C-alpha cells in the first residue's frame, strides 16, 4: 500500500520539471488555452450526482457556455467526472474508462464519498479513498454538492490547466506501479 501523502509530495517536483520541459514550449500556452476552453466530459454517475448534472447541461446553468459538452465515449473526452460512492465493481469500470481516455485527461471527484468514503466508510463493498487507485485533479466536497459548485470546480480546473497544475495523467504514468499494486490489492484474483 502506498502512502497518499508521499505520492502527492513527491509529485510536486515532477510537475515543475515537466512544465519547464514540455508544456512551456511556444505553442504550449495556446494549446492549454484550447484545452481548457473545450473540455469534453464523460460522467460516471454511481451514487448521487446524476440529478445535479441535468440542470448543469440544460438551460438552467448551461455548461456549454464554457465550451464543455457531455461526451459518451472515453476516447473523445478530456474530463472524467466521478460522482458519489465508488464500490469495487464500479471502480473496475472507472479504471478501464480512465485508461481508455487519451492524454491529457483530468479527473474530478464529486461528493464526499470518493474523498473518504462518506457515510459508507465502513461498507464491505465500497472503497474509501479513490485517489489511491486513480489520480484525481480536483475534489468537490459536499454531500451532495449543488450544481453551482460543479461550475465552480470547472472554473478551478480551467485555471489549473492554464497554469499546468492539473497533472494527474503524468502522475499516473510516473507512479503506475504503485497505483496498479493498489488496484490489484482490492480486486485480488478477479481483476
Which run of H or of E encompasses 120? none
Strand order in the sheet with 69-70: 69-70, 40-45, 79-83, 106-110, 138-140
136 counts as binding ligand SF4 under rule CB under 6 A: no
Instruction: Choose the stretch contacting other proteins; rule: CB under 8 A; options: 6-14, 66-74, 90-98, 141-149.
Output: 66-74
Instruction: Choose the stretch contacting ligand SF4; rule: CB under 6 A; options: 9-17, 101-109, 110-118, 148-156.
Output: 110-118
Which among ligand SF4, other proteins, none contacts residue 1 (Cβ within 5 to 8 A by kind)? none
DSSP string, 73-99: -GGG-SEEEEES--BHHHHHHHHHHHH
Instruction: Choose the stretch contacting other proteins; rule: CB under 8 A; options: 5-13, 26-34, 126-134, 143-151.
Output: 26-34
Cell numbers representing residue 122 in the block: 465502513
Cell numbers representing residue 127 in the block: 472503497
Residue 99 Cβ, how far from other proteins at the closest point, in Å? Answer: 10
Provide the strand spans (E) within the chain.
40-45, 69-70, 79-83, 106-110, 138-140
112 counts as binding ligand SF4 under rule CB under 6 A: yes
Which among other proteins, ligand SF4, none contacts residue 144 (Cβ within 5 to 8 A by kind)? ligand SF4
Q: Which residues bind other proteins (CB under 8 A)?
A: 27, 30-31, 34-35, 37-38, 58-59, 62, 64-67, 71-73, 75-78, 100-104
Amino acid at each position: 500500500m502506498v502512502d497518499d501523502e508521499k505520492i502527492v509530495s513527491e509529485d510536486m517536483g515532477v510537475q515543475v520539471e515537466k512544465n519547464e520541459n514540455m508544456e512551456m514550449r511556444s505553442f504550449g500556452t495556446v494549446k492549454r488555452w484550447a484545452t481548457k476552453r473545450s473540455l469534453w466530459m464523460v460522467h460516471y454517475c454511481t451514487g448521487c450526482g446524476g440529478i445535479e448534472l441535468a440542470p448543469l447541461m440544460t438551460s438552467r446553468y448551461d455548461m456549454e457556455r464554457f465550451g464543455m459538452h457531455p461526451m459518451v465515449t472515453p476516447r473523445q473526452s478530456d474530463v472524467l467526472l466521478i460522482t458519489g460512492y465508488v464500490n469495487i465493481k464500479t471502480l473496475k469500470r472507472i479504471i478501464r474508462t480512465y485508461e481508455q481516455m487519451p492524454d491529457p485527461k483530468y479527473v474530478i471527484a464529486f461528493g464526499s464519498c470518493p474523498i473518504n468514503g462518506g457515510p459508507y466508510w465502513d461498507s464491505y463493498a465500497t472503497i474509501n479513498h479513490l485517489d489511491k487507485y486513480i489520480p484525481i485533479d480536483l475534489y468537490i466536497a459536499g454531500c451532495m454538492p449543488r450544481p453551482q459548485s460543479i461550475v465552480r470546480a470547472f472554473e478551478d480546473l480551467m485555471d489549473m490547466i492554464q497554469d499546468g497544475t492539473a497533472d494527474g495523467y503524468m502522475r499516473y504514468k510516473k507512479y503506475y506501479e504503485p497505483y496498479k499494486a493498489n488496484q490489484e490489492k482490492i480486486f485480488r484474483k478477479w481483476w
